[in-house]
Amino acid sequence: MRLAQQAEHQQTFLNQLREITGINDIQVLQQALKDSNGNLELAVTFLTAKNAKVPQQEEATYYQTALPGNDRYISVGSQADTNVIDLTGDDKDDLQRAIALSLEESNRAFRETGITDEEQAISRVLEASIAENKASLKRTHPEVWSDSPNPYDRKRQDSCPVGLKNVGNTCWFSAVIQSLFNLLEFRRLVLNYNPLASAQDLPRNQKEHRNLPFMRELRYLFALLVGSKRKYVDPSSAVEILKDAFKSNDSQQQDVSEFTHKLLDWLEDAFQIKAEEERDGEKPKNPMVELFYGRFLAVGVLEGKKFENTEMFGQYPLQVNGFKDLHECLEAAMIEGEIESLHSENSGKSGQEHWFTELPPVLTFELSRFEFNQALGRPEKIHNKLEFPPILYLDRYMHKNREITRIKRDEIKRLKEYLTVLQQRLERYLSYGSGPKRFPLVDVLQYALEFASSKPVCTSPIDDIDASAPPSGTVTTQTIPSTTEQQGPSSSEIPSASPVQRSVIHKPFTQSRIPPDLPMHPAPRHITEEELSVLEGCLHRWRAEVENDTRDLQESISRIHWTIELMYSDKSMVQVPYRLHAVLVHEGQANAGHYWAYIYDHHQRRWMKYNDISVTKSTWEELERDSFGGYRNASAYCLMYINDKEQFLIQEEFNKETGQMLLGMDTLPPDLKDYVKEDNKRFEKELEEWDAELAQKVQQEKLLASQTPRMPAPSSAPVQAGEPEYLEQPSRTDLSKHLKEDSVRAIAKALTEQEDRSPETVMQTVMLTPNMQGIIMAIGKARNVYDRCGPEAGFFKAIKLEYARLLKLAQDDPPPECDYRLHHAVVYFMQNEAPKKIIERTLLEQFGDHNLSFDERCRNIMKVAQVKLEMIKPDEVNMEEYEGWHQEYRNYRETTMYLMVGLEHFQKKSYMEALLYLIYAYQNNKELLSKGLYRGHDEELISHYRRECLLKLNEHAAALFESGDDQEVNNGLIIMNELIVPCLPLLLVDETEEKDIAAVEDMRNRWCSYLGQEMEPNLQEKLTDFLPKLLDCSTEIKGFNDPPKLPSYSTHELCERFARIMLSLSRTPADGR
C-alpha cells in the first residue's frame, strides 16, 4: 500500500514537471527528479536552465538600445505615434530600430521558476510555480485603496449590489466570492451554516481549527453583502485567513482557479463537519459536493487493453490554444489519442473517451490560458479569441448519448473531410495562376475578354508619341542651365515676376497627367471579326461556367457548415441546458494582472460587472469584448454555468407561513441580522458626524463673514456683492491721475482723427481691460448723440454699439490663439445662447461700474446705467440663473488657466508639473462641453497633451528603474504610483478614446517587458509589488491630489499668455494630433 502511494506521489510530480516545462520525455523528467532528490522546484530549474540560455551579445544589444539617451530607443509594444517605425522607405536607421525591437522582444533574460508545495499546486501548477518564486522574496506592504473621507461617497444607492474592497491584490478574491454569492442556493447554505457548539468550542484537528473561523468570517461577509448600507465592504478578515493558508503575503497575486479549488476544499471540509454531526445512521451528504462536483466515465484502450473507470471532477480544465469556441475545447478534452482503436478488438494503439455520467448543478470550466515558453524560460499568456454561448447544451457529452454522439462525430468528421476538398477546389478558382501573384479565375477571363474587345488606335505602342518632344528627363539648354537639370531651380534663382519658357518634361512614373490620346488598355492589333466573335463566345461561356462552378462550391460549403452547426440541434440533443452564470476575466500577462467578474442577474435578466468596489450594469456585448479574448490583454479565465432546469439555484426564499418573498435583511438568521444592524449603526453614525462637521464649518464661515467689516458703497451705485473677477476694472486708487488723463486724451484723439480705424487698433496703446476698452470706445463713438440729446440717449447709443461689437466677435471664427470668449463674458454667453436678459444685465453692470469715471460724459452714462439696474424688477431676471451663467464662465476661465499653465510646463519639459494641470483641464473641460459645444476648449488637443505627458513620464520612470540605483528606482516608482497609476482610470473610463486606451497598453507593456529579464532580487520584489496596481483595469477613481493653485491673472495677461502658448503649438508639430 505504501509503495502504491509513493508511486502515485511520484507520478503526480512527473505530471507537474511535464506541465511546467513542456517536456514529454519521461526518462528526462525522471532523471531530473532523481538529481534533485525529489525537490520539485530544483527539478524545474535543472530542466529549464538547459533550454533557456540568452546570448550575452544580444543582451548587451538590448540594454544599449534601451538607454534613455539613445534616440533610437523604442518601448516594447509601444503604440504611441512617436515610436512608430516606418519601413516603407530606405532609411537604414529605421531598419536598425526594427531589429533592436525584435531583439528586445525575443531575447529577454531568462528568469528561474519554481512552484509551491503540492497542496498549493492543486490545479494551476504553472501559475503556482511563479507564485512560489515571487513569495520567496521579502516584500513591503503594498498600497491599498483608501476610503473617501466623505461617507456619502461610500453610501449604497437603493438596492444596488454591494462591492468588495481590494485590500491589496485581492481582486481574485472579489471575483470568485461575488460569483458564488450571487448563486442564491450557495448564499443560503453559507448564511445558515451553524455547526454544533462542541465543534466550535473544541476544534478536533487542524482543518476544523482553520475552516470554522473562515466560515464565521464568510458568513459575516455574505451578511454584509446582503444588508449593508455601505457601497462596498471590507473582506480583510476572511482574506487574512486565506492568505495564511496560502503561506503568502499581502503582495501575492493569487490565481483564480487555484483559489477556487482551495475555497471549495475548505467549504467541503466545513460542511462535512456539519453533515457528520447531523447524520442519523445514514451516509452524510455534503451540499458542496452536491453543488459543484460531477462524475465522468473514462473509456479507453491502453496498449491494446481496454479499461473503464469513473472519476469525480470539480472544475473542469479546458485547453484554449488552437480552438475557436467552447464546444471545440470540450470535444478535444473528451477525446484523447486514437479514437478508432476504442471500437476495434485487436489494436496496439492507445486512446480514451470521457463521458459525463453525472453533471453538477454548478459546472465550472477552467480555461487554460497560460503555457510555458521553453525558449524564454517563462510562462506566457494565450490571448487567442475563444467564443462561448450564453446557453450551453451538454447532451453530446453525456454517457447515455454516447452511441448517437459517436455516429454524429463520425458524420461530422466525414463532412469536414469533404469540406476540406471543396475549399481546396474553391481556392483554385479564387487564386488562379502559377506565379507568386494569383487572381480569381473569373476576373482573369473578364480581363481577357476586355483585352480582346478593345480597339487599337495605332499599329505600334510608340507611333502616337510626338517625336519632336525632347527625350524624357532633358530640357532645352537655352532656357535652363545644366546645373538646374539635375536639381531643379529654386525660388531665389528664378523670380516669379519673369517667367522662363521651358519645354514640357515627361519623367517616368512622375508625370502629372496622361496624354489624352493614350488608350486606357492595350489592345490586339491583328484580329479578324470572325476570330474575335469565336474568342468572345468562348470567353463568355467559360466565364459563365466558372461563375456557376464557384457559386456551386460556395453554396455547398455553406450547406455543409450549416449541417455541421445543426448536427446537435435535434430535440434529443437539447435536453441538458446550462446557462452562463458568471465569467471571471483576467487582464494582464502570465505573472501579473487584474481580475473582475461579469455575473448574470437572473431576476432582472441583465449582466452586471463586479470590479472590486465598483458594481455597474453591463451588456452581453461588453462581456464579449472583454471575455472572448483577441482584444487587448483581457480574456475569460473561468466560466461558471448552472443547470437551467434547476431553479432552486437562483430561486428566492419565501416565508413558510405567509408565502411572501423574503428580501434583504429578512433572509438573514437572527445572529447575522444583529451583526449587520450593528455595522449599519456605525455607518449611520459616520454620516451623522460628517453632517455635524459640515454644519459646524458652515456656522464658522457665517460667523467669520459677519465679523468682517464691509466697505461702504457709493450712494449713487447699486450694491454689487461678489463681482466676478473677469469683470475687474481698475479702481480709482489703483489708477493714477496721470494714467487716466493720458487714457482719455488718447481715446479722444483716436476718435477725432482716425474714425476709420477699428476699436481694437485704437485701444492697443491704452492699458485698460478689454471690458473697459469696449465701453469707453462705445461712449466715445456715441458722443454726438450724447451732446445733442443728453446722457440717456448717449447711454442707449453706447450700449447698442457695444452689443453690436460683441455680437460680431461672437459670430467670428478666429484662430485658436485669439479666443474672444476670454476677452468678454458676453461673447461667451452669446456663443452659448444664454438668455437675452442675462446678457443685458451683464452689460448694464459693466456700464454702471463706479470705476467708469474718466470724465463727465462717462460719469453721467454710468449713472444712467445704475438707474436702469435699480429699475429691473426681481421677477424680470432670475438671479439664480444669472449667477449660474457667471459661475460657468468662471469655470471656463479657470479651465483655460489650467490648460495654459499645463502647456507652458509641457513645453519646458516639466512633465510632472504639467500633468496635474492638464488632468484638471481635461476633467473640467469635459464637464463644460457636456453642456454645449462652445462652452469649453478643443477636447482632442487637451487629450493629446495629457496623453503625451503620461507617456513621457512613463518613459522617464522606466529609465530610472533600468538604472538599478536604489534612489533612482524609488523615484521612478514614486512617479508611477503617485502620478501615472492614479491617472490610468481617467484614460480608460471612455472606451471610445482609442488613442488613450492604446497609450495605457503601451505603458503597461513597457513594464511587463521586464518580467522575463534577469534583475537583482530587490528590483524583482519592487516590480512584483508594483505591477498589479499598474494592471488594475478598474475605472473607479481611487483618489487624486488637490487641484493645483492657479496664479491670479488679469484679463489682459490671460489673453496674452494664452495667445502666446497657442501660437507656439501651431508652429510645433503635434505628433498624433
Q: DSSP assignment of 1010-1045, as one string? A: TTTS---HHHHHHHHHHHHHHH----S----PPPPP
Cross-strand bridge partners of residue 163 = 232
**Is-contact 366 317, C-beta < 8 A?**
yes
Cβ-based burial of 549 (10 A; exposed 0-12, middle 13-18, buried ≥19): middle
What 916-921 contacts at long range (C-beta under 8 Å, 24+ apart), as own/partner pairs, is: 916/1041, 916/1043, 916/1044, 917/1044, 918/942, 918/945, 918/946, 918/949, 919/946, 919/983, 919/986, 919/1040, 920/895, 920/1043, 920/1044, 921/895, 921/946
Residue 24's Cα: distance from chain center in Å?
Answer: 39
C-alpha cell, 447: 480581363
Known catalytic residue at 171: yes
**382: Cβ–Cβ under 8 A, 6 or more apart, which residues?**
320, 321, 368, 369, 370, 371, 629
Phi, psi angles (nearest 5°) of residue 163 = -90, 175
Known catalytic residue at 586: yes
Alpha helices in 527-669 (DSSP H): 529-565, 620-627
Regarding beta strands 232-233 and 163-164, do their DSSP bridges make them parallel or antiparallel, or are they unpaired? parallel
**690: Cβ–Cβ under 8 A, 6 or more apart, which residues?**
150, 151, 152
Cross-strand bridge partners of residue 824 = none
CA 813 – CA 172 distance, rounded (Å): 54
Q: Which of 261, 327, 354, 594 is catalytic?
A: 594
CA 557 – CA 416 distance, rounded (Å): 10
Phi, psi angles (nearest 5°) of residue 608 = -120, 145
| Three-state SS at 139 | coil
C-alpha cell, 698: 458652515
**Is-contact 827 809, C-beta < 8 A?**
yes
Residue 297's Cα: distance from chain center in Å?
Answer: 44
**310: Cβ–Cβ under 8 A, 6 or more apart, which residues?**
295, 296, 297, 298, 357
CA 406 – CA 400 distance, rounded (Å): 12
CA 244 – CA 86 distance, rounded (Å): 52
C-alpha cell, 358: 453525472
Known catalytic residue at 458: no
Phi, psi angles (nearest 5°) of residue 597 = -135, 145
**Is-contact 1016 964, C-beta < 8 A?**
yes
C-alpha cell, 911: 512633465
CA 505 – CA 461 distance, rounded (Å): 20
CA 683 – CA 404 distance, rounded (Å): 61
CA 115 – CA 122 distance, rounded (Å): 11
Cross-strand bridge partners of residue 636 = 585
Q: Which of 171, 329, 949, 1055 is catalytic?
A: 171
**Is-contact 164 632, C-beta < 8 A?**
no
C-alpha cell, 580: 452562463
Quote the Cα angle for 877-880-885, to 5°.
90
CA 990 – CA 1000 distance, rounded (Å): 12
Q: Which of 261, 327, 586, 905 is catalytic?
A: 586
**536: Cβ–Cβ under 8 A, 6 or more apart, which residues?**
449, 452, 453
Please give the positions annotated as active site. Answer: 171, 586, 594
